[in-house]
Amino acid sequence: MLTPNIDLNGKTILVTGAAGFIGAELVRVLLSTLDGATIVGLDNVNPYYDVAIKEYRLEKLQTLARERVGCQWHFHRGNIADKALVEELFTKYGFDVVVNLAAQAGVRWSIDHPDDYIEANIIGFYNILEACRHHPVAHLVYASSSSVYGSNKKIPYSTEDKVDDPVSLYAATKKSNELMAHAYSKLYDIPSTGLRFFTVYGPAGRPDMAYFSFTNKLRRGEKIQIFNYGNCKRDFTYVDDIVEGVKRVMMNAPERQTGEDGLPVPPYRVYNIGNSAPENLLDFVDILQQELVAAGVLPESYDFEAHKELVPMQPGDVPVTYADTSRLEEDLGFRPATPLREGLRRFARWYKEFYL
């Protein structure tokens, strides 16, 4: 197991995508657990999904920051594709650790809105890399995605697998991020770690994700479409587990080394963060409906069978996601473990409090 080489206490940390699902939860954990740290958030709060949820997350963070003595929280509204803004923030704060979670998410959205992905995921990430080059950081951690595995038939997905067959532009941009980070690590000796997240869910999540959109549709009395006729499996990973993994990674930067050619060996790693227990989509829907009834989001008499529709696979989707997390376990002694029922129960209770 690796020995942590970065003490996050007292450090200045940039979290991009800080109003996003994972970003806001990471900032919450950092503010709650660190001493003497300065946390800087950057997010353009775009309307890809309900901005009210993003504002809700930010309000929670502001409240926590007022209560938390010893840590500073500074939030900036802006786009990582704005190179001048990124340069200004790096110059002003002198970041020790950067966590890039800002991205245009969503596989299906990328089919009809490619410009959004090139701007945020390619140009934006390039700006972050350039800033880390000119303002050296101890560690750059960035979000990749399980989507990079594309139509890979081998499961579980291992970070040793080839990932050169993306099935969506979103996946291609995330693979591009890994290649760009590797090049910058090699050329400029920037310690970087990419994280391939697997189907993240939980309270205050993204409304475009299945568990959230299903809940909204069921409440409106609409039918939910279950793709691939219910034969999909997803490695659902609870957001708290994702954030615990991110924090551990932040504290373990790849070591700088020199190779036999006298040039830097890229201080570069990639990890899967997933639950390593894929769930059948029909079983997932069954658990979700039970927890929605238990939380009072839906009535006990709700006719779920009348609101389910089995449909073919959608373009850009894959039938199974399944993470091999052995490298994460070996290096960091961590494996996500929140049971799906417990995670959906927490989501259902939050949904009741937020909407009803």
- 3-class state of residue 242 by DSSP: helix
CA dist., res. 40 & res. 58, Å (int):
12
Catalytic pick among 49, 142, 170, 184: 170
Sign of the dihedral defined by the CA atoms of residues 307, 310, 315, 319, in that order:
positive
Phi/psi for 13 (5° steps) reads -125, 130
CA dist., res. 211 & res. 237, Å (int):
12
User: Which stretch of DSSP H or E encloses residue 270?
Assistant: strand 268-273
Which neighbouring-strand residues pair with 193?
A: 141, 269
CB neighbours of residue 69 within 10 Å: 7
CA dist., res. 32 & res. 26, Å (int):
10
Residue for token digits 């494996």? 335
CA dist., res. 268 & res. 283, Å (int):
38
Phi/psi for 101 (5° steps) reads -110, -5
355 is catalytic: no
User: Cβ-count burial of 111 within 10 angstroms (0-12 exposed, 13-18 middle, 19+ buried)?
Assistant: middle
Q: Edge-to-edge strands of the sheet including 12-16?
A: 72-77, 38-43, 12-16, 97-100, 139-143, 192-197, 268-273
CA dist., res. 309 & res. 286, Å (int):
14
Kindly give the interhelix angle for 239-250 and 21-33, rounded to the nearest 10 degrees. 60
- Nearest alpha-carbon partner for 145 in 126, 121, 129, 124: 121
CA dist., res. 351 & res. 202, Å (int):
10
Which residues are part of the catalytic machinery? 170
